[in-house]
Structure 1
């Protein structure tokens, strides 16, 4: 009876283990399937560098996933600022409107803005509400604005210092887009950019045009040139398949591996017990 129970347990756990393993193999065959980093689903035109092949994403749409599950985009830098940080953190991707919502990891986007080479990037800064102008004024200029952020008016009608972006050579000021013209810092101060928030900002892209696929509840991909008679460029895309909710959590693979290890251990344990039972039974028969 004990031997029958051990045999039953052995084949039960073995069948569970065999059911899990093919599922992993099948997922690996689809190298361009949507992936998750944190709470963000990453699919074409983006690709996740750690998991997707080069052909899975559009040129310049490379994302990476940090150890703490932050989705990272590296923006191109100007030649003169090659030593500066080009990392921004993506907090949301709106595939329908082709928008990226991002934040500066240092909480001071305007500090790095001049170092970004947006002309070499497929993404452009998207201006939203509550826009502020940012000006850079040399310390040796005659202009002296408000010298403390604590003294700034509530709606920034006057230029207010931005300490995180200022250094020994320049003082950076923020001023409301609705401020009177005569309140703006004069030359030699220069305008850096206009954004709505020091930390959070938005980027959009115009190519490839995959937003219409979202409205059709379909996925987007490169068009397979080998299966058509038309003269197509490598940049043309098409809608295909069905847009489904990706339900796997970010640590699904880890849980799967742990489950596999546990089941493997149980199979080994049952096998050892079964072998011991058989050997013990044979010894008893001899006596």
Structure 2
């Protein structure tokens, strides 16, 4: 029986030796497995971290783009505000200038309306005292101007222009000659005006003539010796004959 016990003891000893040899190998395998798990966990954590970093980077880039856009809009708005400030400033200056001009116009109107009234009074008096040529036409011109002064639809500048125009017409009368047919005491005559130097009246048949005496305010009969030159002068004024040197009587040389 002893030998059997010995074999059993040897067997147990051998198993123990095998167990002692296998035990470190199993520990290393477990460590490797744990290391792999740790590495896998670390990689997964790293991937998650990278995803979070990528996400944060995308958000940061998006925020940066939004910031740049907002800043550009703010810069543009500031520029617009500065431009509008200058525009508003210029408009305020223009409004102030317009206010001054309106005040000046009002003062000018208060001064120019009485001036035009006096000018028309003087013009009417001048026409009435002047040599009596085109009396109806000239009196009508003054009357129309007086009516024009009361119209609200005509500007002050236009009224003043028309008054000056009437004065210019009167000035031009003294620089030209004119022939026209008109009525006097219900009788038709041919009239010849030489500037403002002389005014002649001829019968339509050209057989009798008169000259206006501004001193006597009357028509003075002319001698038949002047009739030929007067008829020629009438044709020259009517532009039906060429100009030539003519001998015409002046009012101071007419018969008294």
TM-score by length of 2: 0.31
TM-score by length of 1: 0.28
Choose 1 or 2 for highest CA Rg. 2
More relative contact order in 1 or in 2 (CA 8 Å, sep 6+)?
1
The structure with the largest strand share of the pair is: 1
